[in-house]
Amino acid sequence: MSGAISPAEGAARAEMARLCRSLFERGFSVGTAGNVSVRLEDGILMSPTNVRLGDLIPERISKLDFEGRHVAGDKPTKETFLHQAFYDTRPEAGAVVHLHSTWATALSCLADTDPEDCVPPLTPYVVMRVGTVKLLPYTRPGDPATGTLIRALQGRYAAVLLANHGPVVSGRTLFSAVAAAEELEETARLLVALRGHPTRLLTEAQVADLKATFGTI
């Protein structure tokens, strides 16, 4: 990569490589699936295309400007528009994590998943860390229509499920986005495991209490 980078960007690149490696090693991403980004003061760091999340080299992570132009590092993921849609509609978002994690993807494939609230309030932590999750209609990977669907939500959701594809989670920081993606995956696993069993969800009053105490996503 040509040109000097700031200490803040260098730290962001190192953290991105470390957390992505952790996701990969724990099975949240397989092969070259999934992509991660971090917003900087002068652009967006993006995981490169056709690279496993466990193999990111900090100096080779892609960098785009805010108009989506590739300015440094390796060629970025084909899903750049998906990340940009979150940043453009959620000014508070500092990072976006898109995975093909097993249980969240399974939930996105089930025909009876509620598209308006596809991850119901099973535990307090999914309310606190993820919030309400919208299921978006299927689009081909790499199709800019996915970004259009996310923009149409006008920033109302911190996380979405892409039908038959997987989760996309935003957070104020990369650490919080990764933690939310992990929480979403675990909750999806519980939801699939509990299918066919009488299930007790948190009540509206309990959800309201959590939001009043810990804030909204």
List residues with catalytic annotation.
79, 125
CA torsion through residues 53, 26, 99, 153, sign: negative
Tokens representing 192 are 């699939």
Other Cβ atoms within 10 Å of 185 Cβ, number? 24
Contact 62, 75 (CB under 8 A): yes
Q: Is 216 exposed, middle or buried (0-12, 13-18, 19+ CB in 10 A)?
A: exposed
CA distances from 152 to 43, 85, 184, 189 (A): 23, 9, 22, 28
Edge-to-edge strand ranges of the sheet holding 159-162:
70-72, 62-64, 43-46, 35-40, 95-98, 166-171, 159-162, 133-136
- Give the strand pairing for 95-98 and 43-46: unpaired
Helix (H, G, I), strand (E, B) or coil at 135: strand
